Structure 1
Amino acid sequence: MKKIMMLLAGFLAVSCSNDDIVSSAPQKKLSSIKMNYYQNDKLMTFRNFTFLNDQLVTIKYQESACEDYTYNIQGLVSQILIYNLSGRLITTITYSYDTAGRITEKSFKTFVTDTGEPVNVNFVFTHLADKIVVAKTYNGDIQNEEILMNSNKKIIKQVLKPDIHSATFQYENDNVTSSKTFIFNLESTESYSYNTLKNDYNYRKYIFGNEWKLNDYLDTFDSGSTYFVYLQSENLISEYTSSPSRIDNSSDKTAVYKRIFTYNFNDQKQIYKETEIYSRIVDETTENIGKSEFIYTYK
Protein backbone atom coordinates (compact mmCIF):
# COMPACT_ATOMS: atom_id res chain seq x y z
CA MET A 1 0.00 0.00 0.00
CA LYS A 2 1.36 3.38 -0.89
CA LYS A 3 2.14 5.95 1.78
CA ILE A 4 1.47 9.66 1.79
CA MET A 5 2.88 11.11 -1.41
CA MET A 6 3.50 14.65 -0.32
CA LEU A 7 2.85 16.81 2.74
CA LEU A 8 3.98 20.43 2.77
CA ALA A 9 2.65 23.48 4.58
CA GLY A 10 -0.45 24.63 2.75
CA PHE A 11 -0.23 21.82 0.19
CA LEU A 12 -1.54 18.28 0.55
CA ALA A 13 -1.67 15.23 -1.67
CA VAL A 14 -2.58 11.72 -0.46
CA SER A 15 -2.87 8.40 -2.26
CA CYS A 16 -6.21 6.61 -2.53
CA SER A 17 -4.50 3.41 -1.48
CA ASN A 18 -3.16 4.85 1.78
CA ASP A 19 -4.71 2.86 4.61
CA ASP A 20 -3.19 4.43 7.72
CA ILE A 21 -2.65 8.19 7.61
CA VAL A 22 -0.60 9.37 10.57
CA SER A 23 -1.44 12.83 11.91
CA SER A 24 0.18 14.97 14.58
CA ALA A 25 -2.92 17.18 14.69
CA PRO A 26 -4.43 18.13 18.06
CA GLN A 27 -7.06 15.87 19.62
CA LYS A 28 -10.70 16.05 18.62
CA LYS A 29 -10.05 16.97 15.01
CA LEU A 30 -12.29 15.27 12.47
CA SER A 31 -10.51 12.12 11.30
CA SER A 32 -13.09 10.16 9.32
CA ILE A 33 -16.68 9.86 8.17
CA LYS A 34 -18.37 6.66 7.08
CA MET A 35 -21.48 6.92 4.93
CA ASN A 36 -23.71 3.82 4.95
CA TYR A 37 -26.75 3.42 2.72
CA TYR A 38 -29.41 0.83 3.61
CA GLN A 39 -32.45 -0.59 1.85
CA ASN A 40 -34.84 -2.66 4.00
CA ASP A 41 -32.21 -2.53 6.77
CA LYS A 42 -29.67 -4.18 4.46
CA LEU A 43 -26.39 -2.36 3.84
CA MET A 44 -26.26 -1.68 0.10
CA THR A 45 -23.18 0.52 -0.22
CA PHE A 46 -20.80 2.65 1.79
CA ARG A 47 -18.17 5.35 1.45
CA ASN A 48 -15.22 6.08 3.72
CA PHE A 49 -14.01 9.68 4.05
CA THR A 50 -10.52 10.20 5.52
CA PHE A 51 -9.40 13.56 6.95
CA LEU A 52 -6.02 14.95 7.94
CA ASN A 53 -5.87 18.14 10.02
CA ASP A 54 -9.54 18.75 9.23
CA GLN A 55 -9.01 18.43 5.47
CA LEU A 56 -10.68 15.71 3.43
CA VAL A 57 -7.92 13.78 1.68
CA THR A 58 -9.50 10.56 0.40
CA ILE A 59 -12.91 9.05 -0.31
CA LYS A 60 -13.09 5.30 -0.89
CA TYR A 61 -16.20 3.75 -2.38
CA GLN A 62 -17.33 0.17 -1.89
CA GLU A 63 -15.86 -1.85 -4.76
CA SER A 64 -15.76 1.27 -6.89
CA ALA A 65 -13.80 4.45 -7.55
CA CYS A 66 -11.81 6.37 -4.98
CA GLU A 67 -10.97 10.06 -4.87
CA ASP A 68 -7.80 11.89 -3.80
CA TYR A 69 -7.96 15.56 -2.69
CA THR A 70 -5.17 18.14 -2.97
CA TYR A 71 -5.28 21.66 -1.45
CA ASN A 72 -3.83 25.06 -2.30
CA ILE A 73 -2.14 27.57 -0.01
CA GLN A 74 -5.61 28.97 0.92
CA GLY A 75 -6.54 25.56 2.31
CA LEU A 76 -9.13 25.05 -0.45
CA VAL A 77 -9.36 21.96 -2.63
CA SER A 78 -7.43 22.55 -5.83
CA GLN A 79 -7.54 19.11 -7.43
CA ILE A 80 -9.49 15.86 -7.19
CA LEU A 81 -8.18 12.69 -8.82
CA ILE A 82 -10.71 9.90 -9.34
CA TYR A 83 -9.56 6.31 -9.83
CA ASN A 84 -11.42 3.13 -10.74
CA LEU A 85 -11.15 -0.12 -8.79
CA SER A 86 -8.00 -1.22 -10.63
CA GLY A 87 -6.25 2.05 -9.74
CA ARG A 88 -6.53 3.63 -13.17
CA LEU A 89 -6.99 7.41 -13.23
CA ILE A 90 -10.35 8.11 -14.88
CA THR A 91 -11.13 11.75 -14.06
CA THR A 92 -9.21 14.87 -13.02
CA ILE A 93 -11.02 17.88 -11.51
CA THR A 94 -9.25 21.20 -10.84
CA TYR A 95 -10.42 24.41 -9.13
CA SER A 96 -9.33 28.06 -9.07
CA TYR A 97 -10.50 30.74 -6.60
CA ASP A 98 -10.53 34.49 -6.09
CA THR A 99 -9.01 36.21 -3.05
CA ALA A 100 -12.37 35.85 -1.23
CA GLY A 101 -12.15 32.06 -1.57
CA ARG A 102 -14.94 31.74 -4.14
CA ILE A 103 -14.62 29.32 -7.05
CA THR A 104 -13.78 31.16 -10.27
CA GLU A 105 -13.06 28.15 -12.45
CA LYS A 106 -13.72 24.42 -12.39
CA SER A 107 -12.43 22.01 -15.01
CA PHE A 108 -12.74 18.28 -15.30
CA LYS A 109 -11.35 15.82 -17.77
CA THR A 110 -12.67 12.28 -18.07
CA PHE A 111 -10.28 9.81 -19.68
CA VAL A 112 -12.48 6.68 -19.71
CA THR A 113 -15.49 7.15 -22.01
CA ASP A 114 -17.68 5.06 -24.29
CA THR A 115 -16.02 6.55 -27.38
CA GLY A 116 -12.50 6.26 -26.08
CA GLU A 117 -12.01 10.01 -26.50
CA PRO A 118 -11.44 12.22 -23.41
CA VAL A 119 -14.25 14.58 -22.38
CA ASN A 120 -13.24 18.09 -21.30
CA VAL A 121 -15.67 20.36 -19.44
CA ASN A 122 -14.74 23.79 -18.09
CA PHE A 123 -16.74 26.30 -16.03
CA VAL A 124 -15.72 29.93 -15.54
CA PHE A 125 -17.63 31.77 -12.79
CA THR A 126 -17.69 35.58 -12.92
CA HIS A 127 -18.88 37.05 -9.62
CA LEU A 128 -20.90 40.27 -10.00
CA ALA A 129 -22.91 42.29 -7.48
CA ASP A 130 -26.27 40.64 -8.17
CA LYS A 131 -25.40 37.47 -10.07
CA ILE A 132 -22.78 34.94 -11.07
CA VAL A 133 -22.25 34.50 -14.80
CA VAL A 134 -21.30 30.96 -15.78
CA ALA A 135 -19.49 30.17 -19.03
CA LYS A 136 -19.55 26.43 -19.67
CA THR A 137 -17.30 24.91 -22.33
CA TYR A 138 -17.98 21.30 -23.31
CA ASN A 139 -15.41 19.89 -25.74
CA GLY A 140 -15.11 23.32 -27.34
CA ASP A 141 -18.80 24.32 -27.35
CA ILE A 142 -19.60 27.34 -25.13
CA GLN A 143 -22.87 27.91 -23.27
CA ASN A 144 -23.60 30.88 -21.01
CA GLU A 145 -25.67 30.38 -17.87
CA GLU A 146 -26.22 32.40 -14.70
CA ILE A 147 -27.08 32.38 -11.00
CA LEU A 148 -29.08 35.32 -9.67
CA MET A 149 -28.45 36.64 -6.13
CA ASN A 150 -30.47 38.84 -3.78
CA SER A 151 -29.10 41.74 -1.73
CA ASN A 152 -28.02 39.29 1.01
CA LYS A 153 -25.98 37.27 -1.50
CA LYS A 154 -28.48 34.43 -1.35
CA ILE A 155 -29.16 32.42 -4.50
CA ILE A 156 -32.68 33.17 -5.78
CA LYS A 157 -32.58 31.73 -9.29
CA GLN A 158 -30.52 29.31 -11.32
CA VAL A 159 -30.83 29.60 -15.10
CA LEU A 160 -29.24 26.66 -16.87
CA LYS A 161 -30.92 27.16 -20.22
CA PRO A 162 -33.30 30.13 -20.69
CA ASP A 163 -36.89 29.04 -21.38
CA ILE A 164 -35.85 25.40 -21.02
CA HIS A 165 -34.35 24.78 -17.59
CA SER A 166 -34.37 27.05 -14.53
CA ALA A 167 -34.94 26.90 -10.78
CA THR A 168 -36.11 29.57 -8.30
CA PHE A 169 -35.77 29.60 -4.51
CA GLN A 170 -37.82 31.15 -1.71
CA TYR A 171 -36.37 32.07 1.72
CA GLU A 172 -37.59 32.64 5.24
CA ASN A 173 -35.13 33.63 8.00
CA ASP A 174 -32.25 32.87 5.60
CA ASN A 175 -33.49 29.31 5.07
CA VAL A 176 -34.61 27.97 1.69
CA THR A 177 -38.24 27.01 2.26
CA SER A 178 -39.12 26.03 -1.31
CA SER A 179 -37.67 25.61 -4.77
CA LYS A 180 -39.36 25.40 -8.14
CA THR A 181 -37.73 23.68 -11.07
CA PHE A 182 -38.84 24.34 -14.64
CA ILE A 183 -37.80 21.82 -17.32
CA PHE A 184 -39.35 21.70 -20.78
CA ASN A 185 -42.69 23.22 -19.67
CA LEU A 186 -42.86 20.92 -16.63
CA GLU A 187 -42.68 22.45 -13.16
CA SER A 188 -41.92 20.67 -9.89
CA THR A 189 -41.81 22.04 -6.36
CA GLU A 190 -39.72 21.01 -3.40
CA SER A 191 -40.16 22.25 0.17
CA TYR A 192 -37.76 22.28 3.11
CA SER A 193 -38.12 22.50 6.89
CA TYR A 194 -35.40 23.28 9.43
CA ASN A 195 -34.50 22.95 13.08
CA THR A 196 -32.86 25.61 15.25
CA LEU A 197 -29.29 24.28 14.88
CA LYS A 198 -26.82 26.25 12.77
CA ASN A 199 -25.89 24.72 9.44
CA ASP A 200 -22.15 24.46 10.08
CA TYR A 201 -21.46 20.73 10.31
CA ASN A 202 -21.40 19.47 6.72
CA TYR A 203 -18.10 17.93 5.65
CA ARG A 204 -18.03 20.14 2.56
CA LYS A 205 -16.77 23.03 4.69
CA TYR A 206 -13.51 21.08 5.11
CA ILE A 207 -13.10 21.21 1.32
CA PHE A 208 -14.27 24.70 0.38
CA GLY A 209 -13.41 26.92 3.37
CA ASN A 210 -15.40 29.92 4.61
CA GLU A 211 -17.36 30.15 1.34
CA TRP A 212 -18.21 26.45 1.45
CA LYS A 213 -21.94 26.92 0.95
CA LEU A 214 -21.57 28.99 -2.21
CA ASN A 215 -18.70 26.85 -3.49
CA ASP A 216 -20.66 23.66 -2.90
CA TYR A 217 -23.47 25.08 -5.01
CA LEU A 218 -21.09 26.10 -7.80
CA ASP A 219 -19.47 22.67 -7.67
CA THR A 220 -22.84 20.97 -8.31
CA PHE A 221 -24.21 23.66 -10.63
CA ASP A 222 -24.16 21.58 -13.80
CA SER A 223 -26.32 18.85 -12.26
CA GLY A 224 -29.33 21.18 -12.21
CA SER A 225 -30.33 19.63 -8.88
CA THR A 226 -32.35 21.74 -6.47
CA TYR A 227 -32.12 19.24 -3.65
CA PHE A 228 -28.66 20.32 -2.54
CA VAL A 229 -29.75 23.94 -2.19
CA TYR A 230 -30.56 23.24 1.46
CA LEU A 231 -26.84 23.60 2.14
CA GLN A 232 -27.25 27.32 1.50
CA SER A 233 -29.54 27.73 4.50
CA GLU A 234 -28.73 29.20 7.91
CA ASN A 235 -30.06 26.20 9.86
CA LEU A 236 -29.80 22.42 9.55
CA ILE A 237 -32.48 20.86 7.41
CA SER A 238 -34.99 18.59 9.14
CA GLU A 239 -37.29 17.59 6.27
CA TYR A 240 -37.41 17.61 2.47
CA THR A 241 -40.63 17.06 0.50
CA SER A 242 -41.16 16.88 -3.25
CA SER A 243 -44.23 17.72 -5.25
CA PRO A 244 -46.22 14.74 -6.63
CA SER A 245 -44.58 13.01 -9.56
CA ARG A 246 -45.37 9.90 -11.59
CA ILE A 247 -43.88 6.70 -10.24
CA ASP A 248 -42.92 5.54 -13.74
CA ASN A 249 -44.03 5.89 -17.35
CA SER A 250 -46.30 2.85 -17.19
CA SER A 251 -48.31 3.97 -14.16
CA ASP A 252 -50.75 6.79 -13.54
CA LYS A 253 -49.93 6.75 -9.84
CA THR A 254 -48.00 9.60 -8.31
CA ALA A 255 -45.73 9.73 -5.31
CA VAL A 256 -44.49 12.40 -2.92
CA TYR A 257 -40.89 11.80 -1.88
CA LYS A 258 -39.66 12.77 1.57
CA ARG A 259 -36.44 12.79 3.56
CA ILE A 260 -36.27 13.17 7.33
CA PHE A 261 -32.96 14.34 8.85
CA THR A 262 -31.81 13.76 12.43
CA TYR A 263 -28.52 14.69 14.14
CA ASN A 264 -26.58 13.49 17.17
CA PHE A 265 -23.81 15.40 18.95
CA ASN A 266 -21.07 14.46 21.42
CA ASP A 267 -20.32 16.24 24.70
CA GLN A 268 -18.03 18.67 22.86
CA LYS A 269 -20.91 19.74 20.61
CA GLN A 270 -19.43 18.02 17.58
CA ILE A 271 -21.75 16.12 15.28
CA TYR A 272 -21.08 12.37 15.40
CA LYS A 273 -24.07 11.03 13.44
CA GLU A 274 -26.39 12.34 10.74
CA THR A 275 -29.27 10.17 9.56
CA GLU A 276 -31.48 10.56 6.49
CA ILE A 277 -34.66 8.47 6.19
CA TYR A 278 -35.99 8.17 2.61
CA SER A 279 -39.66 7.45 1.95
CA ARG A 280 -42.43 8.05 -0.53
CA ILE A 281 -46.18 8.44 -0.12
CA VAL A 282 -48.39 6.63 -2.65
CA ASP A 283 -52.18 6.60 -2.25
CA GLU A 284 -51.77 7.96 1.28
CA THR A 285 -49.52 5.02 2.16
CA THR A 286 -45.95 5.71 3.27
CA GLU A 287 -43.33 3.37 1.85
CA ASN A 288 -39.81 3.30 3.30
CA ILE A 289 -37.19 3.46 0.57
CA GLY A 290 -33.91 3.56 2.40
CA LYS A 291 -31.68 5.16 4.98
CA SER A 292 -28.30 6.92 4.94
CA GLU A 293 -26.03 7.34 7.95
CA PHE A 294 -23.03 9.63 8.19
CA ILE A 295 -20.90 8.61 11.18
CA TYR A 296 -18.23 11.15 12.23
CA THR A 297 -15.06 10.12 14.09
CA TYR A 298 -12.69 12.53 15.89
CA LYS A 299 -9.25 12.21 17.39
Structure 2
Amino acid sequence: MSRLNRVTNAGQGSEPRGGSAFGPTSAGRRAVRWMRENPLFAFGAAIVMIVVIFGVLAPFLAPFPDDASTATHPFETLVAPSAEHLFGTDQVGRDILSRVIYGIRISPVIAAAVIASSCIIGIPLGLLAGHFGGVIDEVIMRITDIFLAVPALLLALAFAVVLPPSPYSTMIAIGIAWWPWYARLVRGEAKSVTTRRYVENARILGLPRWRVMFRHVLPNSVTPVIVQASLDFGGIILTAASLSFLGLGAQDPTPDWGLMVNQGQGYFATQWWVVTFPGLAILITALAFNLLGDGIHERLDPRRVVSR
Protein backbone atom coordinates (compact mmCIF):
# COMPACT_ATOMS: atom_id res chain seq x y z
CA MET A 1 0.00 0.00 0.00
CA SER A 2 2.89 2.36 0.79
CA ARG A 3 4.43 1.68 -2.61
CA LEU A 4 1.12 2.62 -4.26
CA ASN A 5 0.99 5.86 -2.27
CA ARG A 6 4.54 6.76 -3.25
CA VAL A 7 3.79 6.19 -6.94
CA THR A 8 0.58 8.24 -6.71
CA ASN A 9 2.27 11.13 -4.94
CA ALA A 10 5.11 11.12 -7.42
CA GLY A 11 2.68 11.25 -10.29
CA GLN A 12 0.76 14.12 -8.74
CA GLY A 13 3.82 16.19 -7.97
CA SER A 14 5.63 15.79 -11.26
CA GLU A 15 5.18 17.74 -14.49
CA PRO A 16 6.45 17.17 -18.01
CA ARG A 17 9.92 18.55 -18.57
CA GLY A 18 8.68 20.78 -21.38
CA GLY A 19 6.18 22.50 -19.10
CA SER A 20 2.47 21.98 -18.66
CA ALA A 21 0.53 20.54 -21.58
CA PHE A 22 -1.69 23.59 -21.42
CA GLY A 23 1.11 26.13 -20.92
CA PRO A 24 2.02 29.00 -23.23
CA THR A 25 4.74 26.97 -24.95
CA SER A 26 2.29 24.27 -25.98
CA ALA A 27 -0.29 26.85 -27.09
CA GLY A 28 2.34 28.67 -29.15
CA ARG A 29 3.40 25.45 -30.82
CA ARG A 30 -0.17 24.58 -31.65
CA ALA A 31 -0.68 28.05 -33.16
CA VAL A 32 2.49 27.77 -35.25
CA ARG A 33 1.52 24.28 -36.42
CA TRP A 34 -1.97 25.45 -37.34
CA MET A 35 -0.56 28.37 -39.33
CA ARG A 36 1.72 25.99 -41.20
CA GLU A 37 -1.31 23.89 -42.04
CA ASN A 38 -3.18 27.02 -43.20
CA PRO A 39 -0.73 29.10 -45.27
CA LEU A 40 -3.47 31.28 -46.76
CA PHE A 41 -4.56 32.35 -43.28
CA ALA A 42 -0.95 33.09 -42.35
CA PHE A 43 -0.54 35.13 -45.53
CA GLY A 44 -3.73 37.09 -44.87
CA ALA A 45 -2.74 37.72 -41.24
CA ALA A 46 0.70 38.95 -42.34
CA ILE A 47 -0.81 41.38 -44.87
CA VAL A 48 -3.32 42.65 -42.30
CA MET A 49 -0.50 43.22 -39.82
CA ILE A 50 1.45 45.16 -42.45
CA VAL A 51 -1.64 47.25 -43.25
CA VAL A 52 -2.10 48.09 -39.57
CA ILE A 53 1.57 49.02 -39.16
CA PHE A 54 1.53 51.23 -42.25
CA GLY A 55 -1.67 52.90 -41.09
CA VAL A 56 -0.28 53.70 -37.65
CA LEU A 57 3.12 54.84 -38.96
CA ALA A 58 1.86 56.59 -42.11
CA PRO A 59 3.44 59.99 -41.30
CA PHE A 60 6.83 58.30 -40.93
CA LEU A 61 6.60 55.82 -43.82
CA ALA A 62 5.08 58.05 -46.49
CA PRO A 63 7.88 59.60 -48.60
CA PHE A 64 5.90 62.83 -49.14
CA PRO A 65 3.45 63.24 -46.21
CA ASP A 66 2.27 66.67 -47.39
CA ASP A 67 0.96 65.14 -50.63
CA ALA A 68 -1.76 63.37 -48.65
CA SER A 69 -3.44 66.72 -47.97
CA THR A 70 -3.78 69.88 -50.04
CA ALA A 71 -0.26 70.02 -51.50
CA THR A 72 -0.01 70.31 -55.29
CA HIS A 73 2.97 70.30 -57.66
CA PRO A 74 1.96 71.68 -61.09
CA PHE A 75 5.34 70.90 -62.66
CA GLU A 76 5.32 67.23 -61.58
CA THR A 77 1.92 66.10 -62.84
CA LEU A 78 1.46 62.54 -64.12
CA VAL A 79 5.10 61.56 -63.63
CA ALA A 80 5.67 57.86 -64.33
CA PRO A 81 6.92 55.55 -61.54
CA SER A 82 10.59 56.25 -60.82
CA ALA A 83 13.16 56.09 -58.04
CA GLU A 84 11.84 59.33 -56.59
CA HIS A 85 8.13 58.49 -56.97
CA LEU A 86 7.78 54.70 -56.79
CA PHE A 87 4.07 54.81 -57.72
CA GLY A 88 4.31 57.93 -59.87
CA THR A 89 2.30 61.13 -59.37
CA ASP A 90 -1.33 62.02 -60.04
CA GLN A 91 -2.99 64.74 -62.10
CA VAL A 92 -1.93 67.51 -59.70
CA GLY A 93 1.58 66.20 -58.99
CA ARG A 94 0.92 64.44 -55.67
CA ASP A 95 2.92 61.33 -54.81
CA ILE A 96 0.61 58.34 -55.24
CA LEU A 97 2.55 56.10 -52.85
CA SER A 98 2.13 58.62 -50.05
CA ARG A 99 -1.58 58.91 -50.73
CA VAL A 100 -2.02 55.13 -50.89
CA ILE A 101 -0.28 54.77 -47.51
CA TYR A 102 -2.46 57.46 -45.96
CA GLY A 103 -5.49 55.80 -47.55
CA ILE A 104 -5.02 52.95 -45.09
CA ARG A 105 -6.40 55.33 -42.50
CA ILE A 106 -9.66 55.71 -44.45
CA SER A 107 -11.11 52.47 -45.87
CA PRO A 108 -10.03 49.96 -43.16
CA VAL A 109 -11.01 52.43 -40.44
CA ILE A 110 -14.44 52.82 -42.06
CA ALA A 111 -14.80 49.02 -42.10
CA ALA A 112 -13.85 48.75 -38.42
CA ALA A 113 -16.31 51.53 -37.49
CA VAL A 114 -19.12 49.90 -39.50
CA ILE A 115 -18.57 46.51 -37.85
CA ALA A 116 -18.43 48.12 -34.39
CA SER A 117 -21.66 50.06 -34.97
CA SER A 118 -23.36 47.01 -36.49
CA CYS A 119 -22.47 44.95 -33.42
CA ILE A 120 -23.57 47.70 -31.04
CA ILE A 121 -26.98 47.82 -32.73
CA GLY A 122 -27.43 44.25 -33.90
CA ILE A 123 -26.23 42.24 -30.89
CA PRO A 124 -28.60 43.76 -28.29
CA LEU A 125 -31.59 43.58 -30.65
CA GLY A 126 -30.84 40.00 -31.63
CA LEU A 127 -30.28 39.05 -28.00
CA LEU A 128 -33.63 40.52 -26.94
CA ALA A 129 -35.46 38.85 -29.82
CA GLY A 130 -33.91 35.43 -29.28
CA HIS A 131 -34.10 35.35 -25.50
CA PHE A 132 -37.57 36.78 -24.90
CA GLY A 133 -39.33 35.71 -28.10
CA GLY A 134 -43.02 36.50 -28.52
CA VAL A 135 -44.03 40.02 -29.50
CA ILE A 136 -40.52 41.39 -28.98
CA ASP A 137 -39.12 38.83 -31.37
CA GLU A 138 -41.78 39.51 -33.99
CA VAL A 139 -41.36 43.29 -33.92
CA ILE A 140 -37.56 43.23 -34.08
CA MET A 141 -37.41 40.56 -36.79
CA ARG A 142 -40.00 42.25 -39.00
CA ILE A 143 -38.01 45.50 -38.86
CA THR A 144 -34.90 43.50 -39.66
CA ASP A 145 -36.62 41.85 -42.62
CA ILE A 146 -37.48 45.26 -44.06
CA PHE A 147 -33.79 46.17 -44.15
CA LEU A 148 -32.75 42.75 -45.43
CA ALA A 149 -35.24 42.95 -48.28
CA VAL A 150 -32.99 45.53 -50.00
CA PRO A 151 -29.43 44.61 -51.09
CA ALA A 152 -26.86 46.08 -48.70
CA LEU A 153 -24.99 48.05 -51.37
CA LEU A 154 -28.19 49.54 -52.77
CA LEU A 155 -29.45 50.49 -49.30
CA ALA A 156 -26.10 52.07 -48.40
CA LEU A 157 -26.17 53.94 -51.71
CA ALA A 158 -29.63 55.31 -50.94
CA PHE A 159 -28.57 56.64 -47.55
CA ALA A 160 -25.27 57.97 -48.92
CA VAL A 161 -27.17 60.04 -51.49
CA VAL A 162 -29.17 61.74 -48.73
CA LEU A 163 -26.18 62.40 -46.46
CA PRO A 164 -23.45 64.95 -47.27
CA PRO A 165 -20.48 63.19 -48.90
CA SER A 166 -17.76 62.44 -46.34
CA PRO A 167 -16.09 59.42 -44.69
CA TYR A 168 -18.43 59.79 -41.70
CA SER A 169 -21.47 59.65 -43.98
CA THR A 170 -20.03 56.50 -45.56
CA MET A 171 -19.76 54.90 -42.11
CA ILE A 172 -23.35 55.79 -41.28
CA ALA A 173 -24.75 54.66 -44.64
CA ILE A 174 -23.01 51.28 -44.60
CA GLY A 175 -23.69 50.76 -40.88
CA ILE A 176 -27.43 51.23 -41.43
CA ALA A 177 -27.34 48.58 -44.14
CA TRP A 178 -25.16 46.12 -42.21
CA TRP A 179 -26.59 45.78 -38.69
CA PRO A 180 -29.58 43.52 -39.60
CA TRP A 181 -27.25 40.63 -40.46
CA TYR A 182 -25.83 40.66 -36.93
CA ALA A 183 -29.25 41.00 -35.32
CA ARG A 184 -30.57 37.96 -37.15
CA LEU A 185 -27.39 35.96 -36.48
CA VAL A 186 -27.41 36.65 -32.74
CA ARG A 187 -31.15 36.06 -32.56
CA GLY A 188 -30.75 32.52 -33.92
CA GLU A 189 -27.92 31.72 -31.52
CA ALA A 190 -29.67 33.25 -28.51
CA LYS A 191 -32.85 31.35 -29.30
CA SER A 192 -30.89 28.10 -29.33
CA VAL A 193 -28.91 28.88 -26.16
CA THR A 194 -32.04 29.93 -24.24
CA THR A 195 -33.49 26.40 -24.52
CA ARG A 196 -30.39 24.69 -23.09
CA ARG A 197 -30.47 23.08 -19.70
CA TYR A 198 -27.98 25.29 -17.88
CA VAL A 199 -30.05 28.38 -18.81
CA GLU A 200 -33.22 26.69 -17.54
CA ASN A 201 -31.41 25.72 -14.33
CA ALA A 202 -30.35 29.34 -13.83
CA ARG A 203 -33.99 30.40 -14.11
CA ILE A 204 -35.06 27.70 -11.65
CA LEU A 205 -32.52 29.01 -9.16
CA GLY A 206 -34.32 32.36 -9.32
CA LEU A 207 -31.68 34.43 -11.05
CA PRO A 208 -33.01 37.65 -12.60
CA ARG A 209 -33.79 37.30 -16.29
CA TRP A 210 -31.46 40.13 -17.30
CA ARG A 211 -28.63 38.40 -15.45
CA VAL A 212 -29.35 35.10 -17.19
CA MET A 213 -29.41 36.89 -20.52
CA PHE A 214 -26.09 38.72 -20.09
CA ARG A 215 -24.28 36.12 -17.97
CA HIS A 216 -25.23 32.91 -19.77
CA VAL A 217 -26.95 33.60 -23.10
CA LEU A 218 -24.82 36.43 -24.49
CA PRO A 219 -21.34 34.88 -23.98
CA ASN A 220 -22.49 31.70 -25.71
CA SER A 221 -24.02 33.55 -28.66
CA VAL A 222 -21.19 35.81 -29.85
CA THR A 223 -18.80 33.28 -31.44
CA PRO A 224 -20.62 33.40 -34.81
CA VAL A 225 -20.47 37.21 -34.60
CA ILE A 226 -16.67 37.10 -34.42
CA VAL A 227 -16.59 34.88 -37.50
CA GLN A 228 -19.09 37.04 -39.39
CA ALA A 229 -17.24 40.25 -38.54
CA SER A 230 -13.95 38.85 -39.83
CA LEU A 231 -15.63 37.77 -43.06
CA ASP A 232 -17.44 41.11 -43.51
CA PHE A 233 -14.35 43.29 -43.21
CA GLY A 234 -13.24 42.86 -46.82
CA GLY A 235 -16.75 43.33 -48.16
CA ILE A 236 -17.20 46.58 -46.25
CA ILE A 237 -13.91 47.89 -47.63
CA LEU A 238 -15.16 47.20 -51.16
CA THR A 239 -18.51 48.84 -50.39
CA ALA A 240 -16.83 51.95 -48.97
CA ALA A 241 -14.55 52.14 -52.00
CA SER A 242 -17.59 51.82 -54.28
CA LEU A 243 -19.37 54.74 -52.60
CA SER A 244 -16.23 56.88 -52.83
CA PHE A 245 -15.81 55.90 -56.48
CA LEU A 246 -19.34 57.16 -57.14
CA GLY A 247 -18.52 60.46 -55.42
CA LEU A 248 -20.69 59.74 -52.37
CA GLY A 249 -17.88 59.19 -49.86
CA ALA A 250 -14.66 61.04 -49.16
CA GLN A 251 -13.97 64.15 -51.19
CA ASP A 252 -10.74 65.56 -52.57
CA PRO A 253 -8.09 66.03 -51.21
CA THR A 254 -8.82 63.13 -48.81
CA PRO A 255 -6.57 60.20 -49.85
CA ASP A 256 -9.37 57.67 -50.20
CA TRP A 257 -8.63 54.67 -52.44
CA GLY A 258 -12.03 54.64 -54.12
CA LEU A 259 -11.85 58.36 -54.79
CA MET A 260 -8.34 57.98 -56.23
CA VAL A 261 -9.59 55.31 -58.63
CA ASN A 262 -12.43 57.62 -59.66
CA GLN A 263 -10.04 60.50 -60.30
CA GLY A 264 -7.63 58.34 -62.26
CA GLN A 265 -10.07 56.46 -64.50
CA GLY A 266 -9.74 59.05 -67.26
CA TYR A 267 -5.97 58.51 -67.38
CA PHE A 268 -5.99 54.71 -67.40
CA ALA A 269 -5.20 54.34 -71.10
CA THR A 270 -2.16 56.64 -71.00
CA GLN A 271 -1.06 57.01 -67.33
CA TRP A 272 -1.96 53.58 -65.96
CA TRP A 273 -0.29 54.07 -62.56
CA VAL A 274 -2.79 56.72 -61.44
CA VAL A 275 -5.59 54.18 -61.10
CA THR A 276 -3.67 50.89 -60.84
CA PHE A 277 -1.96 51.31 -57.48
CA PRO A 278 -5.03 52.51 -55.52
CA GLY A 279 -7.00 49.68 -57.12
CA LEU A 280 -4.35 47.16 -56.08
CA ALA A 281 -4.46 48.53 -52.54
CA ILE A 282 -8.22 47.88 -52.42
CA LEU A 283 -7.81 44.40 -53.91
CA ILE A 284 -4.94 43.27 -51.67
CA THR A 285 -6.46 44.63 -48.46
CA ALA A 286 -9.89 43.11 -49.12
CA LEU A 287 -8.30 39.78 -50.09
CA ALA A 288 -6.12 39.74 -46.96
CA PHE A 289 -9.10 40.31 -44.66
CA ASN A 290 -11.10 37.65 -46.51
CA LEU A 291 -8.29 35.11 -46.05
CA LEU A 292 -8.06 36.08 -42.39
CA GLY A 293 -11.81 35.70 -42.00
CA ASP A 294 -11.82 32.28 -43.68
CA GLY A 295 -9.10 31.14 -41.30
CA ILE A 296 -10.98 32.37 -38.25
CA HIS A 297 -14.14 30.69 -39.53
CA GLU A 298 -12.29 27.41 -39.96
CA ARG A 299 -10.75 27.71 -36.52
CA LEU A 300 -13.98 28.53 -34.69
CA ASP A 301 -16.26 26.23 -36.69
CA PRO A 302 -18.07 24.06 -34.09
CA ARG A 303 -18.05 21.06 -36.43
CA ARG A 304 -14.27 21.33 -36.75
CA VAL A 305 -13.91 21.56 -32.97
CA VAL A 306 -16.01 18.41 -32.52
CA SER A 307 -13.99 16.56 -35.16
CA ARG A 308 -10.75 17.37 -33.33
Q: TM-score, normalised by structure 1?
A: 0.26
- Of structures 1 and 2, the one with the larger relative CO (CA 8 A, separation 6+) is 2
Larger Rg: 2
Q: TM-score, normalised by structure 2?
A: 0.25
Q: Whose strand proportion is higher, 1 or 2?
A: 1
